[in-house]
Structure 1
Amino acid sequence: MSKVNLIDKLRNRGLISYITNEDNLNKLIENSSISLYCGFDPTDDSLHIGHLLPLIILKRFQMAGHKPIILIGGATSLIGDPSFKKKERIFNTNDNISKWTKKISKQISCFLDFNSESKSALLLNNNTWFKKINILSFLRDTGKYFTINKMINRAAIKKRIIRPDQGISFTEFSYNLLQAYDFFILNQKYQVELQIGGADQWGNISSGMHLIHKKSQKEVYGLTTPLLMQSNGMKFGKTESGTIWLDANKTSPYKFYQFWMNIEDSNVYYFLKMFTFIKITEINKREQENSFNNQIIKDKTFLAKSITSLVHGEEQLLAAERITSFLFCKNIDDIKESDLQQLRKDGIPSIQVYNIKDLQDALVLSSLSKSRTQAKNMIISNSISINTKRIRKNHIFNNNDKLFGKFTLLSRGKKHHSLLCW
């Protein structure tokens, strides 16, 4: 990718929400290689899909010859970013933050190149400098550049202040200064000229630019990505329900794959532009062809495969495809025991069974039926399958029904499944 018009390319793919002084930033990245950074607070043991867009932008900048820096918020995570949160975060212990930092750092290392000479990605932790700071010096040398008037008028803060049931603590209120100081330190020590983040970080990013201008008289830049929103209007975040994690132990690769397979059709080409690295001309061509040939499932599958491979790798993508084929295409030949373990974890409902009388009993225990009478009618109507094979009469389970001696897939129709774990 050429450095020229990189910002235009990002915008054309829907990756930019806000940007400062675009003309000057364009000239800067056209004529030189820059260092840029994005911060991630380890407030849990995994990143989630809401973090993907900043990581993809870092990757695109690195592909264009620039140096990405990841800043782990070992110090700021002790405080918690209040930006657009409805209530104060639960404070985390130093031990947890230390463990989570290692896990998140490992996740991030899969997205960027840390061995490419001058543009190698760099991983830092802001606890390195905050643990040395004297509170009085910080208030005197940094706090004096910020007025309470401006700070309380930031949208993220104002929303909390006007809520008498919540309000905002001084602890959270100070977070803005801490992130601003991060940008200042990175500019001083690593010549970072651009900070990126989600759209909810705009206030924190602009505070960093303000501090650098006041203390060093330098121009630096900020760029934010759109926030990924759930169908209920809530952003994808660690504290909201329905979180899709990047850690395979929290969200299995199969469930991750199925998330993208089940997005609304209207988002497919939008997400192809944002999350994949295929040329935008090809995406536009796919979208145009879909209007004539209705190939939305084909393109949705391509999206799911691309993002699953990016996050989990080819091996786990193949596992997700095998499970999908097993459940929806009735292909049992290629399924592996590890695939069924994925299904058991969070792919479909499962029950531990020891002694089941018959198929009717299993249907009731698995909640696929409300009663034995209803189960009997389902079987007679040819809507029940065991390991993808239709069953037309009541059935007594035997060892041949147990895949790998452990699992039996019980299905009602095409979409309702339960995994019996013997």
Structure 2
Amino acid sequence: MDLLQDLAWRGIIYQQSDEEGLKELLSNQKISLYCGADPTADSLHIGHLVPFLTLRRFQQHGHRPIVLVGGATGLIGDPSGKSEERNLQTLEKVQENVAGIQKQLAAIFEFDGENGAEMVNNYDWAGSMDIVTFLRDIGKHIGVNYMLAKDTIASRLETGISFTEFTYTILQAMDFNHLYEHHGCKLQIGGSDQWGNITSGLELIRKMQPEGAKAFGLTIPLVTKADGTKFGKTEGGAVWLNPEKTTPYEFYQFWINTADADVVKYLKFFTFLSHEEIDQLAMSVQEEPHLRKAQKVLAEEMTRLIHGEGSLEQAIKISQALFSGDVKSLTAAEIEQGFKDVPSFDVKDAEGNLVDLLVAAKISPSKRQAREDIANGAVTINGEKITDTTYSLQESDRIEGQFTIIRRGKKKYTLIKY
């Protein structure tokens, strides 16, 4: 099965500018192609991943990926999918975001070898262009009527769109034309919301490059969930690639909690597993869903890809400790990850009566209830059951001198911080 057949099997192809032409091109030569992202934040989230992972699939088949982070377009703002103007960011902030995103994308691609990836920033060629050059050499080739026909622009005409965002599609078109001319780039891929920008690039290449110049565009469908809710969102917000925003444990848990109705699709979209491996996991979902084999493999593959083997092992360790109640085996750093969203209570002294602490930390509503909870074996300290109502916390109850984990009942955890 060739690359395009594989992409079709995975459900990754949404739109193509010239299906037969691209098929012929890829069957005859190895090409350079690109995908880009604007640095609207200092981190990508998982909603950005599929186009870049698709770019990686091309690299695995011998093609050369160009990874673009839009230091220039990030200063302007893409109107795609927006009902109102974006807030403009400072150059310093955008450059900071570029550095963070480049580091994340660098972990996905191979940069060595004949088809090693190349990282580019469109600020390098757009940032120094003066307005007259932009209007004469670029803007002259893109008609206003052509731009008004773009869905991303047409949808904003009633609510209003600034000239700044109106010209965004020309800037991205300029990227494709620049990469075609200077890097031999023949294909741009992106999410389905980027179709208008991609076709603007094709139009600019047709107008500015020698007769017969041929480039292609391919988009990827929006990732959706079977229940209709938005993919990549949790109660705490977006699932980020930055481990300081979304810990590797939280990242792992997001994937392992994937619904049965979605997991096979996500295995196809996000992992590099073979068709045979995915088919076997799909069969497991049907015949033994309680084992959640597909979810475990998905969580392992994604956490390893984004955060590395060490962070994966740590995420699994935290998950197993929380499931078994053996929290004493965790390090302080692992506790910070696993109990990031658990209610916490700060105390100054390591020692103190457990009953008083349960009430002060609002774990139990009263001293009477606290005593009953302890006597009934409903309270554990660092995973160990305490039934002595006169028990006082000791120095030995502090994990690395920083935390004590109290659980009341089966699921109510509280993190005591010193």
Is the TM-score greater than 0.5? yes
Corresponding position of 1:273 = 268
Whole-Å separation in 2 of the counterparts to 1:151 and 1:393: 75
User: Does the alignment pair 1:261 with 2:283?
Assistant: no
Counterpart selection for 2:107 from 107, 110, 115 = 110
Distance 1:404 1:211, change over 3 A: same
Aligned residue runs from structure 1 range 5-404, under 5 A: 5-116=2-113, 118-163=114-159, 167-216=160-209, 217=211, 218-229=213-224, 233-234=229-230, 236=232, 242-332=237-327, 334-343=329-338, 346=340, 348-355=342-349, 358-372=353-367, 375-376=370-371, 378-379=373-374, 381-392=376-387, 394=389, 395-404=391-400
Following superposition, the deviation at residue 229 of structure 1 comes to 4.3
Give the corresponding residue for 1:416: 412
Partner amino acid, structure 2, of 1:198: G
SS at match of 1:310: helix
- After superposition, the Cα gap between the structure-2 partners of 1:9 and 1:360, relative to the gap in structure 1 and judged at 3 Å, is farther
Name the SS of the counterpart of 1:123 in structure 2.
Answer: strand
Q: CA deviation at 1:357?
A: 5.2
Equivalent position SS for 1:69: strand
Structure 2 runs not aligned, ≥5 long: none
Deviation at 1:159, TM superposition (A): 3.1
Give the Cα separation in 2 of the matches to 1:246 and 1:19: 29
1:404 to 1:189, Cα distance in 2 relative to 1, 3 A: same
**Unaligned runs of at least 5 residues, structure 1:** none
> How big is the alpha-carbon RMSD for the aligned residues of Structure 1 and Structure 2?
2.5
Specify the SS of the correspondent of 2:393. Answer: coil
Q: 1:232 offset after TM fit, Å?
A: 6.8
Range moving further from structure 2, 137-146 or 174-183 = 137-146
Deviations 1:236-287 (A, max 9, x none): 48xx961111111111111111111222221111111111111122211222
Identity of aligned residues (%): 40
Instruction: Rate the CA distance shift 1:262–1:376 in 2: closer, same or farther, 3 A.
Output: farther
Amino acid at match of 1:351: F
For the residues of structure 2 that align with 1:193 and 1:243, how far apart are their CA atoms? Answer: 33
SS at match of 1:222: strand
Q: How many corresponding residue pairs?
A: 413
Tell me, in whole angstroms, the C-alpha distance in 2 between the residues paired with 1:85 and 1:373.
55
Give TM-score scaled by structure 1 length: 0.90
- Contact 2:32-2:187 at 8 Å conserved across structures: yes
SS at match of 1:42: coil
Separation in 2 of the partners of 1:208 and 1:229? Answer: 27
Q: State the SS of the aligned residue for 1:182.
A: helix
Distance 2:360 2:260 in 1: 35
Do the aligned partners of 1:254 and 1:347 also contact (CA within 8 Å) in 2?
Answer: no
Residues 202-223 of structure 1, C-alpha deviations (whole Å, 9 max, x = no match): 1111111111122224221112
Is the 2:281–2:293 contact (alpha carbons within 8 Å) kept by the matching residues of 1? no
> How big is the shift at 1:297?
1.9
Provide the secondary structure at the position in 1 that maps to 2:380. Answer: strand
Verify the 8 A CA contact 1:379 1:391 in the aligned structure 2. Answer: yes
Call closer, same or farther: CA 1:17–1:412 in 2, change over 3 Å.
Answer: farther
